[in-house]
Amino acid sequence: MSDFFATCPKGLEYLLRDELIALGGTDVHEALAGVRFSGSLETAYRACLWSRLASRILMPLAEFDAASDEALYAGVQAIDWSEHLSAHATLAVDANTAQSKITHSQFLAQRVKDAVVDQFRQRGQERPGVDTEEPDVRINLRLRRDRATVSIDLAGAPLHRRGWREEQGEAPLKENLAAAMLLRAGWPAMYAQGGALLDPMCGSGTLLIEGALMAADVAPGLRRTYYGFLGWKQHDIPLWRGLLDEARKRAEVGLPALRSCFFGSDADSRMVQTAKRNAQEAGVAGFFTLDRHDAQHIVPPPGLTQGLVITNPPYGERLGDRESMPKLYRMLGEMLRDRFTGWRAAILAGDAELGRATTLRADKKYALYNGALETVLLIFELHPRDETPREKAPLSPGAQMLKNRLEKNVKHLSKRLEREGIHAWRAYDQDLPEYAAAIDVYADTSGATHLHIQEYRAPAEVPVDVARTRMREIARVASEVFDTPRARIALKTRERGKGGSKYGQFDQRGEFIEVEEGGLTFLVNLYDYLDTGLFLDHRLVRAKLRELAQGRRFLNLFAYTATASVYAAAGHARDTTSVDLSGTYLEWASRNLALNGFAGAKHRLVQSDATSFLQQSREHYGLIYVDPPTFSNSKRADDFDVQRDHVKLLLACADRLTGDGVIVFSNNFRRFTLDRSALEDRLSIENWGAGSIPFDFSRRANIHDCWLLRLRGAEGEINPWENARTKK
């Protein structure tokens, strides 16, 4: 009996432990990124041939302290290498180190190699050669806390290299990780029950091929032509040949009995062809159906009512764009839920956020590593939907009061909303102190109603569980009053999030709806951000900007999604300039402008801090809109505090204003006080706060302030600064 160590990717240790026990290993114990086990040489050979999960099978030769170069050299030389390696043979050394005085792995590998070849020279023999690709013996050194373990690598090359892969994609899934996904998803038992395997993003076919070889009882290493023990002096050739013969016989029985139940597709026709060639090389192509399709068009194969849908979609790390990933994952979730009732699904998501974007509730979750990327494997049982309406529990007295109030609000507002053509509005704003939330209604351009519910901070004396119950009641009541399914309700609760955010983690759906306001159309995202892209309380401010924009050049500072710029453009502004520090918001702004037919050089988008833009610009504008955040501490700009910095900001705007120009200044800081004394020498000030509050926000009349500012003594005249510039 000997001791061995099987390495594997992190997250596979427990699966590998069970596999090695099944292969005859004894005294099996999982460790970090590997499993220790004991057994005969036959056990080690079986592990090399049959393990679907291991990366390497190491046979330790010696363990010793190696806090110095000399100690390492001496420890390696103490091993009699003539028992393992012929003088005319080749070797290679792999080394890794952690928490040790010697930190350079290449240096370690070189010193191990020196110690081995020097031993042969000292005995008057020819020194072995070096072959880094397929050496006769591959030596492995592991140095942890100055303790060295020297092993023979019986695999010689990573065991995930099965010998059938001819080509791969840009971000290939390793075969042992694919096997782990299939085992965690219960594929062997599902195949035995007559199930099918389907991968809607099959890439080079790894999951399907591993699944087929698993179902056909084909040893994963049967097609390999190289192992690290083949040139080892203690290699037992008859034993190895016997194991190969046994594996071939099992494959000869399993492959002909394999069912044609493997279905794959990919949007990239090149990947489909690659998968076909790989399946042919693996000997399973005849059991596959591979087609070019987008994942959203996948349906269950005819006549099949059960199986496993398994896939490794992009994460936005190497393939694709992270911002577009939530939409992809949401599409996957909808496709699975709507079309694959009775099936099981397994998705290797890039992270938990992308997993949540599927909107499916996972029955099981497993942390797995795809290379250096930590991922999560989600398993879903796609049960038939219960169409029987469930009797709802009666509303609590408080929830019934909330429902009465919300219905009253809707009745009170509905006629005016219809008369003025308003499709996005506030229906409730903490009308009942116990139910501290705001409910906004968005009707998209198709007529579907969406709700955005945002919690206010509950009083300190209200227990957390009570506040959560009330939020659930708010969602239920709103759903009933507006006849809106829960899937179209965005619920944002105040929880401590990453980085100290007062709101917790948002969804990552990448889902936009189109909402009409004032005859214009805007993209709204209810789920992914704290704000939706359309500040409903600024509806009248935007209308005022359209009224003032005629013939003027328009500057939009802190532009956000540029809804104000769209209004100004619709009001026949000469041109618009939208300034924001966020590239994400500017992209959103560009889409809003284009959606309304405003594009080209007349509608400029500038990624910049507003203050820096004003300092650097030499242009003058007839209308400037300033709606700054209360506070900003972006890494790309100086800290901004609206109370502290508004005078400096507005005077800088005045420098860029034409003589007959107007600055529209608004902000949502409830305790804000305009410093009139610092501004009135330069600007005349009109408080337009009351007139800028829409009727559906009248319950919270202090939701924002708004002022109209003009150059003092120059109303209707040419700006003296502009005049001076012209004379120059």
pLDDT at 177: 97
- The pLDDT tens digits of the residues spanning 454-466 come to 998 776 777 888 8
Judged by average pLDDT, the poorest of 105-114, 154-163, 188-197, 322-331 is: 322-331
> Nearest to residue 512, comparing CAs of 406, 606, 612, 595?
595
What tokens appear for 87 in the block?
A: 């003088």
CA distance 362 to 382: 10
Beta strands in 421-567 (DSSP E): 424-429, 437-443, 449-455, 489-492, 513-517, 520-524, 553-557
All structural domains of the chain, each given as residue ranges with its CATH number in brackets, are: 2-153 (3.30.2130.30), 175-216+258-381 (3.40.50.150), 397-500 (3.30.750.80), 535-727 (3.40.50.150)
pLDDT at 351: 86
Per-residue pLDDT, averaged over 158-184, amounts to 87
Residue holding tokens 């120009």?
661
pLDDT at 511: 79
Helix (H, G, I), strand (E, B) or coil at 585: helix
CB 97 within 8 A of CB 91: no
How high does pLDDT run on average in the chain? 91
What tokens appear for 83 in the block?
A: 């028992």
Per-residue pLDDT, averaged over 534-545, amounts to 97
CA distance 389 to 400: 21
Upper half-sphere CA count for residue 430 (Cβ side, 13 Å): 13
What tokens appear for 649 in the block?
A: 């900001």
Is the pLDDT reported for residue 318 higher than 60?
no
Q: Is the pTM of this model over 0.85?
A: no
Helix (H, G, I), strand (E, B) or coil at 657: strand
Label residue 612 exposed, middle or buried (CB < 10 Å: 0-12, 13-18, 19+): middle
> Nearest to residue 718, comparing CAs of 659, 655, 656, 654?
659
- The pLDDT tens digits of the residues spanning 42-88 come to 999 999 999 999 999 999 999 999 999 999 999 999 999 999 999 99
CA distance 279 to 268: 17
When pLDDT is cut at 50, 70 and 90, the band that residue 496 belongs to is: very low
- Estimate the share of the chain in helix, then strand, then coil, as percent rounded to the nearest 5: 35, 25, 40
pLDDT at 497: 43
CA distance 549 to 589: 18
